[in-house]
Every structure is written in structure tokens, then in C-alpha cells.
Structure 1
């Protein structure tokens, strides 16, 4: 959750000061009262590299194979199905899982603007392909979301459903309603249409050198969206978590970028008429809900218009020390407690762009604007009273608890389980400190510690500028899979907990609890099972048989009991099979499932003490979904018949009955039908793919089909 703006009352200010006494006590304090300027104080190449990578953590949709973030998987794959469209892709907005076209198009457009201004820096640092890839991930979604000239989908998911759970993005489809919302000619949304038109117009410029065909596609959609927003004017009235404050700024933003791309003077005049100079020069800055500041800057540059230039400088002057905006004691230009750093770093980006242009504006002010921008970025990277970075995974004392559900990796839908983040959310710029420089690294504090795609957008461009001036090498051969794992995360993802409920008089009653606490990535499993391995030597030595062991499934949360099968020699196992039951790290009731099995020996002959799976189990049960009590590696977990976790007797792989695809102990016509389905690409249901490789050559193909058919014909 994040808010656009919140007024500060005197009471809140007093409370903030009191709270700050108990907030983070710095271990390293800079002596300066203002951030440094004019030198290479940080590795800006690394900071930029990581700030771009953050966007990959918020991707939704069908992620590429061998994805660079091993803790991320496909997510929100049902987006658009409710309206018969494919609306997958794009970015989740912030620490939640809702997809908003409006702030997403702002972020994509802002990243594109950074490439437009500082393309050489991205190219020299080796980051150009990466940032273009991220922008395209968003613009691909905008193209999907614009299925016809007068329709634009602006949201997938919504607050009441999404914010009722704290789950990884990979589980959104299972636990939230991914409803789709649109604007059209009867329900206008000039704000979101104008902003999206701008993002696509910028994309049409920056993709022209590398992919002219895609650039042309983006331009077509940009023109249609601008026309739609301009024709059916009005602010999007439908329910959205972040309602827009207006729409004229968005239309002007779209118009000026269409002019820059096409050089059609009609767009420049349209931008000026929509956003006249008389309404400019305010005290906010460029952000998702007010792009008039960026629009004014580009109008001034594109038209060499000194009247607009004066308004650009009026706004920038407000951000300079001692002229208007509040400054923290440590030197941060502080606009709002909601994402204070995103405002400061975006104002810094505008200051950089304006100071770079020596052909318009007041020459004597350019260096002041430039120095302001450097100081704001250096503050974010560590030049602040606590001496710590606000970019996750970069620098000293960086945040470790950003308000981000997937990075946290809870399996109970709780912000305090686990107490640490299982993944490092590299590159994310957290909201930032309060007006007194105080800040707490607390996942629950979404005011100061939320992250968002629009928070990073201006920051990325500023880092590109800092790199162009001072260098700093991006990390080589980075990242690796292990880089994303929190040092505290040695947690097992899948396991079985076992407890003895009753033992005596030839009976053993065991409760099995199968657990899915996956986070690499979080995954729903519906073919999980667990096995109990028994040694029946004493029964056979007494002249008994397997039939002397009676198994009874008692209490169960969706399991079925599959009777004894031989593993090796006198070792047998039974299976507690949860196939068909969804088990996922979403909440207590879903991350674990229980079943109780009673083992009884006829005539009292038999003992469990020599059973492989009897080791380390005890009682009573511990139903705490946070605890790992009762976890036993000797009661292995399987996924569709394949060992997922645990140890089997003597480390031996289970013997496979090749051809018994449904694991019922027989090879028959049912297995033949299942093999035919597998060859047609359908692996759903309870199928053992290992057993489907009938000729054991490592492939499942027509040869297996012919061999199994011949086997069955022989009887």
C-alpha cells in the first residue's frame, strides 16, 4: 500500500519526533550536514545495474526460462481471462500484486526518458539491453491492454482482494481475484490514456535504433491512445487504489512526446494549449499523478520557449536549499512522508536534464541545479546521518526488510513469518526517511519502507547521469542464484513432519503433515505425497506375509492411502498421497496438510523400531505453522512420484515398475491410455513420467508406445 500525499498535522509532527528517538540508531554517522558533491563517492555503475534489476522482481506473466531471479516464477497468468483477453505481463505496482496501467506507464515512460537523455551511459556500462528489455516488458503489456482504439485496460486485480493476503506473486491466481477494469468512450480515462500514450511514444523513439518495427507499433498505439484520451476527455472515475488528481497533465505529456517523435507541430501546439504556461511552476515535482513538470520541461526544450523555461526554473528553485521546500537536517529535500526519496530523486532527474541543456534557461542557475541533484542521489546512497544506503543490496547498512511480499517469502500470509526476508530485493529504492532523517527498517512500515516501480524510475536515470560523470563498474558475472538468498534463509522448502499419536499393543498411529514452504519460487503443488518405509523382516521370519500388516487411513485433509509396495528385500513402504489437493505457501490452512495412518500387526507380530521412517519421530503434534518441529528426513516427500526431499533407505532410488504409469501396481490398458495422453502433451493427473519411459532409454516417445502396446498384446 502507498499513498499519493498526506498532510502533516502538528500532532503528527510531534509524534514523529518522539518515535524518532526509538528509531534506527546509526552505527556510522557522517560529520557533514549536507551530502557531498563533485566526486566519485560510490560505485554508480553497480547502483544503476541493481536499480534496473529491481524491475525483474516485479514482473508478472510468463517469465523467461532460466530467469535471472531464481525465486521468481510465472505469476498472474489468468489476467484478462474474465474479459476474454490475454492481459498477462507488465509489472506489479509495488509490494502488492495489483497491476495499474497508470503508474506503470509513468514508470516505463520515465525509464524511457532516462534512455533518451543518457543512452550512452547505459550503453557504455553494458546496461542498455537490460533497461530496454524492462521497458519492453511494460510496453508489451500496454499494447495488449489496448485491444481497440477506444479501449484501454487500466487495472488487473483490486485492493479488497489483493490486500487481504500477503502472498508471493506466483500465488496471486490461486488466492486473489484478478478482475480486469477498462476505460472506453462511455467511461473516459484521459489520465491513464495520456500517460500510456507518452510511454509508448517514448518507446517508439528509444527502440528505433534497435527494433524499428516495434518502434512503429508503439507509435501507432501512442497516437490512437492520445486521440482517444483527447476525444473523450475526463478523469477515470472508476474505483482504483490511486485515483488521479487530473488528466490535462497526462494529455500534455503524451502530446509533447508525440511531437518529439514525429516533429508534427500539431502535437506541440496541442501540448501548449492543454498545459498553458499560466498553470505551471508549482511546488510539487514530476510523479505518476502529476507529469506537468516533466511536460513543461520538454515543451520548453522542444519549442525553445523561454516562458515555459521560466516556469521550469520556478519549480526547480522551490527545491533548492533555503528557498521553499523543507530539508531534513541531513540534507534531503523532503516533500512527503510517502516515498520521500522518490520525489527527491525524480526532482534530481529533472534538475540534471535541465542543467545539461546549455541552450535555454538561466545559465547562472545551472550549476546550482546540478549540485542539488548530485546531493540528493548521494544522500540516497549513503551520505546521510545514519551513513546507510536506501537502495536494497547496495552499499552500507542497506534495507533488509522492504515491504514486498515476494522478497519476504511468507508461507502463512503473515508479515512476521519468517522474521527475515528470504530473498534480497536488489536495487529497490525504499520510500525513505521522515523529515528528521529517522527511518526504520521494518516490513510493516509501508510509509517508509515500501518499494514501487515508480519509486525507482527517476532514480535509475539519475544513476545513469552519475555514472556518465564519475564512472563505477557494474559487477561482472553477477548475479548468481545464491546472491538472492538471505544469509538467514536455510529453511527447507518441502518436508514432512511426523508425530506418534499412539503406540502399543501391536499398533502404531502416526500423524503425517506434508509441508510446502517453497520460495524458489513459491509453487502450488497438487501431486504431493509422502512415504513411510517399513522393515518387515520380523514378520517374514515368523512365517508371516505382507497381508499381516493392516493399514488404516483415519483423519485426513484430502489424502488417500496407497498400500504396501516392496522397495528392496524386506523393506516396504506405504504412501500417503495428496494428489488432487492444492498445497501452497499461501496461509496456514494451505501450506500444510495432515493425515493419520494406523499400522496394526496381526497376532501382535511385528515391530516399528527397525523401520527407516520410525527414526526421529515422537509426539505430541506441534501444529504451529512456523515451527519445524517433527520434521523428519526419513519420511520423504514426493512430487508426482519423484523424490522432492528427504532420504530413502540406504540412499537407494525406489524401484520403478516401468509401464505402471498410474502407480496402481499393474500394467494394463489404463496405463496405455495414459501414455497416449502424455505423448499428446497432456501430463495432468496422477501420472508417473519415469514409468512412462517403458524402454528405459531416457525419452518418452513413440518407441515406448509401440513397446507397451506389444507387451499388452502378449498378455
Structure 2
């Protein structure tokens, strides 16, 4: 939205995209309660940050929860507890700061709303970085905060999230103290990065995203000393990582050509899509600078594999192509809308059904194939057929980048891209 908002306007999707971002921003605002913000004694002198609604634990012996109940969200009646954190959840705080800050730039024409977003982001960030360093940590390290999420989204670091939040907060406010924090702590975050995480940009590692943003500052804003050298190292790191995606020496690939950025995990498509997105964005920066070529010139990759150019001839985006999966692991998509409410105990009939989903989850990307390019289109095999917000984020950014720029060479059908953009 920030880089290509004029193109969104050209295709009539600007207001729609803003509505989506506003919905998410309002949600993030509700998650954060600053100290003394209410008369409730629970919140006196203490900041609270809600993590999630619902979870995998039973509220009572034999009770239902979000992982064992195959039920439409509209039919949910079981108790869904709220998990709450304090400022020791440094990674969670950094992510919320980044989201609020980026959104404030989208809504800079709505001054009151933008100020509300940046005020919350600044308050949360200051609380997070002033927390006792011995108490700073990951949200999943605290049982009452992220204990229930540990088995699903276990966080392994937090400095990268605070750098990510500080970088976006600088873009939103222009306050150099936030940039100073981000640039000073970037190298510390690099030291915290796991070897197996290098080259990844996803929910558990924001370093590469921050590096791209810092390189953007180097290229398009002359901030001078002391930032120039640190920004240059960020740019060098960015080019090194992005070029490594194209090297046969850095990452393994499936026989069909899919890069395996995290070979021991399922859902390989999400990492490939996000890598494509960052590569496309950074290459646009270089094009604006008339810097073509470089250490990995004449090399390129596309997202054709995701859209059907793979050994299975299967499109992993629902609704696109001549053959796409029909049994997405998604409760609402799999249960018919027939005016009846179904209990959790009745849900397994659709989970294990071999029939196609009655509701098409148009545009969703699923986890994808295994490292042998093999894919099974069965609803009860989530490692193949489950979509998620996290896994679709990179694809949606990449898809919008290509379609708003009218770059059709990476797709088999230009008409589809136009239609998809209008729907999005």
C-alpha cells in the first residue's frame, strides 16, 4: 500500500485495501491497554497486551477447543479464554508496534486516526524497550502469555521484532531516536538469529525485512553519519541473501524447482512466496536507482510453481488454474451453508469427507507439497492443505505487486490477474 498506493487507486482497490488495514489496526488497538488507561484495578500501573482469543486447551475435562472442534466460527459456543501478556513479551510488543506504525502511514490523511495509531505504538514501544533487560524475552517463554501458542508459533527471538517495530516507528514519526535504536540493535539481533533461520522472512524472523527498510533509507534518504555505514551493511546483507535464493549452492530445491528455505518444516510455499516478494520489492528500488545487474544479474525466478507449473500440475492457489485443490483444510469452507447450526461433535463428518468443499476459499494458498514435489489433496492432511494468514501474507503482497504493476509475464493468464485484483 505504501509503495504502490497509486496503482491500487488505478484499479479501484484503494478503499477496499484501506478498509482491510483499518480492521486489523482497530483490532491491534484493542489488544494494548496502557497503564492506568481504565478504572479497573487490574490495569492500574501495569500495561497489558492480549495475545489470542481461544486456544488448544480444554476449559473443562472433555471440553471443546479451537483445535479439536471442526465447526464454523459462527456456530462456536464453547468458552474461548483470552491470553494476556505484560511487557516481558518483547517480540509481541515489537510486532504490534510495527503494525500500528505502518498503518498510521496508510491513514496519514486521517490525522486523528493516524495520531491514535502512532501514540499507541510509541507508548507500547517505550514500555517494551524500557523493560528490565533481564525480563525482556519471547511471549512463548511465559506460560500465562504464550504457553498455549508454544506448540504452534513458538518464538525463538525478540530483538528482531523490536528492531522491526523501531524501524517502522521511525518511518511513521520521523523521530531519530527510534532509528538509532533500530540501527544500534540490528547487529545484536543478527547474533540472536539461528543459523536455520538465515534467509527467512516470516512471523518468527523479521531481520531481512528490517534490512530492506534500512536499505531503502540508504538509497532514498540522505541521513548521513552515523547511519550511512550501518545502512550500507544492511543493503549488502539484503543483496547477499536475495542472491542466495538464486544460487544452487545456498538452498536445496525440489526436483520440480521449488526452493526449500526451511526444508524440515511443512508449508514450504509460504517461505518461497515471501522470498519472491522481498526480491521483487528490492529489485524495484534498484531499478529506480538505475542499478541493474549486480552480483546475481541475469538470474530470476517466478511464482509459476505455486500456480501450477509443478510436477503435480496442481495450482496451490484455490480457484486459479485448470486444476486446483478442492479439499482445503478450512472449517468454514468445508461445512455447507444450509441454515443449520452444527455442534463440534458433528464436525468430523466434513473433516474426513472426501467430497470437495461446498464453499470455495477463493485466492487462498495452502501449505503445498513435500520436498519430493508430492501433494495430497485431502482435508484431514493439514500439512498439505491448510491455509493460514501467516502463510498467505507473502503471496498476497507479491500477487498485488505484480498485478498492480501489470507485470503479466510471470502468469499464464493476464485476464486472471485483472479479475483477481478486482476481487482482492
Matched, 1:166 2:70: yes
Shift in Å at residue 418 of structure 1?
7.1
Q: Where in structure 2 are the equivalents of 1:570-649 lying within 5 Å?
A: none
Task: Say which of 209, 233, 237 aligns to 1:294.
Answer: 209
Q: Tell me, in whole angstroms, the C-alpha distance in 2 between the residues paired with 1:366 and 1:170.
A: 52
Contact persistence 2:11–2:422 (CA under 8 A): no
Determine the structure 1 residue equivalent to 2:251.
325
Q: Distance in 2 between matches of 1:323 and 1:398?
A: 32
User: What is the SS of the residue equivalent to 1:394?
Assistant: coil
- Alignment pair present for 1:470 and 2:407: yes
The size of the alignment, in residue pairs, is 357
Does the aligned pair in 2 maintain the 1:355–1:369 contact within 8 Å? Answer: no
Please point out which of 373, 391, 396 is paired with 2:317: 391
Residue 234 to residue 252, structure 1, CA distance change in 2 (3 Å):
same
Unpaired runs of at least 5, structure 1: 1-114, 480-715
Give the secondary-structure state (helix, strand or coil) at the position aligned to 1:258.
helix
Q: Does 1:447 align with 2:383?
A: yes
Q: TM-score, with normalisation over the residues of structure 2?
A: 0.78
**Distance of 1:426 and 1:368 partners within structure 2:** 36
The residue that corresponds to 2:327 in the other structure is 401
Distance 1:302 1:235 in 2: 28
Q: Give the ranges of 4+ consecutive aligned residues of structure 1 lying more than 6 Å apart after TM superposition.
A: 359-362, 476-479
Does 2:146 align with 1:243?
A: no
Residue from 365, 369, 380 that aligns with 2:294: 365
Shift of 1:228: 2.1
Aligned to 2:177: 266
- Higher radius of gyration, 1 or 2: 1
1:122 aligns with 2:8: yes
Residue 382 of structure 1 aligns with which residue? 308
Distance 1:397 1:291 in 2: 34
Deviations 1:140-198 (A, max 9, x none): 111111122522101110112211211111122x13x210111124xx11111100100
The farther-off stretch of 123-132 and 337-346 is 123-132
Q: Which has the higher helix share?
A: 2
**Aligned partner (choices 6, 29, 43) of residue 143 of structure 1:** 29
Tell me the SS of whatever aligns to 1:153: strand
Q: Which of 395, 413, 418 does residue 347 from structure 2 map onto?
A: 413
CA, structure 1 residues 362+445, in 2 after alignment: closer, same or farther (shift >3 Å)? Answer: farther
* TM-score after normalising by structure 1: 0.47
Contact 1:122–1:128 (8 Å) recurs in 2:
yes
More strand by share: 1
CA offsets per residue over residues 238-297 of structure 1, 9 Å max, x none? 313222111101000000011112222111110012221864796331101111110111
Deviations, residues 52-110 of structure 1 (Å, cap 9, x unaligned): xxxxxxxxxxxxxxxxxxxxxxxxxxxxxxxxxxxxxxxxxxxxxxxxxxxxxxxxxxx
Mark the CA change 1:356 to 1:400 in structure 2 (over 3 Å): closer, same or farther.
Answer: same
Q: 1:152 aligns with which of 49, 67, 75?
A: 49
SS state at 1:261 partner: helix
Q: 1:329–1:249: structure 2 CA closer, same or farther, 3 Å change rule?
A: same
- Give the alignment of 1:23-422 within 5 angstroms: 115-149=1-35, 150-160=47-57, 161-172=65-76, 174-175=77-78, 177-185=79-87, 188-209=88-109, 211-232=110-131, 233-236=136-139, 237-238=142-143, 239-241=147-149, 242-276=153-187, 279=191, 283-304=198-219, 305-336=231-262, 337-358=265-286, 363-365=292-294, 368=297, 371-372=300-301, 375=302, 377-409=303-335, 411=342, 412-414=346-348, 415-417=351-353, 419-422=355-358
Give the direction of change, closer, same or farther, for the CA distance of 1:433–1:179 in structure 2 (3 Å limit). Answer: same
1:101 corresponds to which residue?
none
2:200 and 2:261 in contact (8 A); partners too: no
Structure 2 equivalent of residue 15 of structure 1: none
Contact 1:355 1:367 in 2 (8 A): no
* Cα deviation digits, residues 405-445 of structure 1 (max 9, x gap): 11111741101247331211111110111112111111111
Q: Is the 8 A contact 2:13 2:422 kept in 1?
A: no
- 8 Å contact from structure 2 (residues 246, 299) kept in 1: no
**Could you tell me how far apart the structure 1 residues matched to 2:272 and 2:4 are?**
19
Alpha-carbon distance in structure 2 between the residues aligned to 1:116 and 1:367: 27
Contact 2:54 2:82 in 1 (8 A): yes
Shift of 1:477: 13
Cα 1:199–1:478 change in 2 (3 A) is closer
- Contact preservation (8 Å) 1:310, 1:361: no
Q: Is the 8 A contact 2:243 2:296 kept in 1?
A: no
User: 1:478: Cα distance to partner?
Assistant: 8.1
Does structure 1 conserve the Cα–Cα contact (< 8 Å) formed by 2:90 and 2:138?
yes
Equivalent position SS for 2:180: helix
Distance, in Å, in 2 between the alignment partners of 1:178 and 1:217 is 29
RMSD, aligned α-carbons: 2.5
Q: 1:25-58, CA deviations, whole angstroms, 9 ceiling, x for partnerless residues?
A: xxxxxxxxxxxxxxxxxxxxxxxxxxxxxxxxxx
Q: Output the CA distance in 2 between the equivalents of 1:254 and 1:434.
A: 34
Q: How far apart are residue 213 of structure 1 and its match?
A: 2.4
Distance 1:476 1:297 in 2: 27
Instruction: Name the structure 1 match of 2:62.
Output: none
Q: Which runs of 5+ in 2 are unaligned?
A: 36-46, 58-64, 220-230, 337-341, 409-413
**Helix, strand or coil at the partner of 1:455:** helix
In structure 2, what is the equivalent of residue 665 of structure 1? none
Q: Distance in 1 between matches of 2:216 and 2:290?
A: 9
